[in-house]
Structures are given as structure tokens and as C-alpha cells.
Amino acid sequence: GDSVTQMEGPVTLSEEAFLTINCTYTATGYPSLFWYVQYPGEGLQLLLKATKADDKGSNKGFEATYRKETTSFHLEKGSVQVSDSAVYFCALSDAGQLTFGKGTLLTVNP
Amino acid sequence: EPEVTQTPSHQVTQMGQEVILRCVPISNHLYFYWYRQILGQKVEFLVSFYNNEISEKSEIFDDQFSVERPDGSNFTLKIRSTKLEDSAMYFCASSELAGGQITGELFFGEGSRLTVL
């Protein structure tokens, strides 16, 4: 079945550091790929998505590129802020149902 | 901005008791979901609901679980007889049905934390 594997956390960075959170997937079809973010005390929010190979999703300075050849969708940001501290979830969607990774806790210190 | 709302935010119950978690999805959405996250583990799919019936459910969603859309507004998850291992954060989500395809973009509520003692 479909599955998502993402980098184990927690990840702790200083403000303005470069962020990468790795995500790889296994799927039988041609899924859409997502990054969701959960800020403290809030629900899951869509951060960005890509629906086909080589698409790049971007939002709030975050980017991820759908790489079919490596079945990956790594999340990157060039310069993180304290307000980016949250749990980040990689997910795939095949016909509507989402399959999530375990989540990666990011803490950004001033 | 429209949002999915869930109540209660936290419920503590005794093992064997019935629990109902409530959700109000975004008003023009047609697909509804329940997910759960046991502490430290993955967010897991429980069930999807469309056109007043279950469209898909996972192995977790056994006979102890049921869902209902009683009044066209609320979407509820009932656990008939709670077990210790039902302790988790339960997320409700909804999505649009666009062009005959489900976009895959789900809008989530803040979650209901269930603690079973």
C-alpha cells in the first residue's frame, strides 16, 4: 500500500538557518504530494502541494519538488524564522485519501 | 476564512464509556474525514464519508466506531465502548469535490484530544 517516510525529528535550528526535511514515498499510482504544518495548539494546515512529477510547490518561503525518479518530496527553506516552529507532515493523496508521514518537529531558536 | 471546527477540544473518559466527537465541516464541502494521531505516531486515516454514507474506512475503524451526519451540518464520530488504546488526537477534515475529482486538499480542524483512563 501507499506509505510516506519522513525524516525523524526533532530538528532544532537557529534563526536564518537553512532547513531540509526529507520525505520519500511509496505509491502504486500517481499521487499528489503535500506538506502540512501544525503550529502549536492548531490543526493541520496545508503548506504546499505538487500534483505531478517535476512540479514545485511553494508557500511562505518553503519549497518542495516532486521527484518521481527518487520518489521524494523534500521540504526546504532558505532562512527559517522562530515563527516556523511547528510539526511538519509529508503526505500523499491517491484518489482523495491522505497518507501521512510521522511528522517532524521543528524548533527554531532566536 | 471558513474553517473546520471540532468539539470538545479535550475529553477524558473512563474505559468502556461511549464518546461522541463533533465536527462542523466547511459549509460547501462534500467529503468528510476522520483521522487520528496516537501520541508520537503517524496521523492515521479512519474513515471518509460522502453523500451520507461511508465511502472508505481503514482497519482501525471497527464495529466500535461509527460516523453520522445527523443534521446536514455536524459530522460526528462515535466510539461505542472506549479502550485505553483509543487515547489519541482525533482530527476531522473536509474537502471540496471539484470537477468530479477530489482535489486531495483537506482542511483540518484543530483536533479533539481523547484520553481514556
Q: Percentage of chain A with pLDDT > 70?
A: 98
Residue of A nearest to B36 (CA): A100
pLDDT value of position A30: 82
pLDDT value of position B102: 56
Cα distance between residue B47 and residue B55, in whole Å: 8
Average pLDDT, integer, range B26-34: 90
Query: B76: burial class by Cβ within 10 Å (0-12, 13-18, 19+)?
Result: middle
Average pLDDT, integer, range A23-47: 89
pLDDT value of position A79: 96
Is a pLDDT exceeding 90 seen at residue A19? yes
pLDDT value of position B17: 97
Which amino acid type is present at position A36?
A: Y
B41 and A101 in contact by Cβ < 8 A?
Answer: no
Instruction: Tell whether A82 is within 8 A of chain B (Cβ).
Output: no
Residue of A nearest to B102 (CA): A96
Model pLDDT for residues B62-107, shown as the tens digit of each residue: 999 999 998 878 999 999 999 999 999 999 999 886 544 555 678 8
- Residues from chain A that touch B93, judged by Cβ atoms under 8 A, are 44
Residue of B nearest to A94 (CA): B104
Beta-carbon contacts of A88 under 8 Å, excluding residues fewer than 6 positions away, are A6, A21, A35, A36, A37, A38, A47, A75, A103, A104, A106
B43 and A103 in contact by Cβ < 8 A?
Answer: yes
Instruction: Tell whether A58 is within 8 A of chain B (Cβ).
Output: no
| Phi and psi at residue A88, to the nearest 5° | -110, 130
Nearest to B42 among A93, A96, A102 (CB): A102
Instruction: Tell whether A32 is within 8 A of chain B (Cβ).
Output: yes
pLDDT value of position B103: 59
pLDDT value of position A1: 80
Model pLDDT for residues A51-87, shown as the tens digit of each residue: 889 999 999 999 999 999 999 999 999 999 999 999 9
Is B40 in a helix, a strand, or coil? coil
B41 and A102 in contact by Cβ < 8 A?
Answer: yes
| Mutation to test the A interface, candidates B42, B48, B90, most A Cβ within 10 Å | B42
Characterize A55-65 residue by residue with b for buried, 16 or more Cβ atoms within 10 angstroms of its Cβ, and e for exposed: eebeeeebbbb
pLDDT value of position A95: 65
Q: Which residue has the higher pLDDT, B20 or B31?
A: B20
pLDDT value of position A76: 98
Instruction: Tell me how many degrees the CA angle B8-B10-B13 measures, rounded to the nearest 5.
Output: 100
pLDDT value of position B100: 46
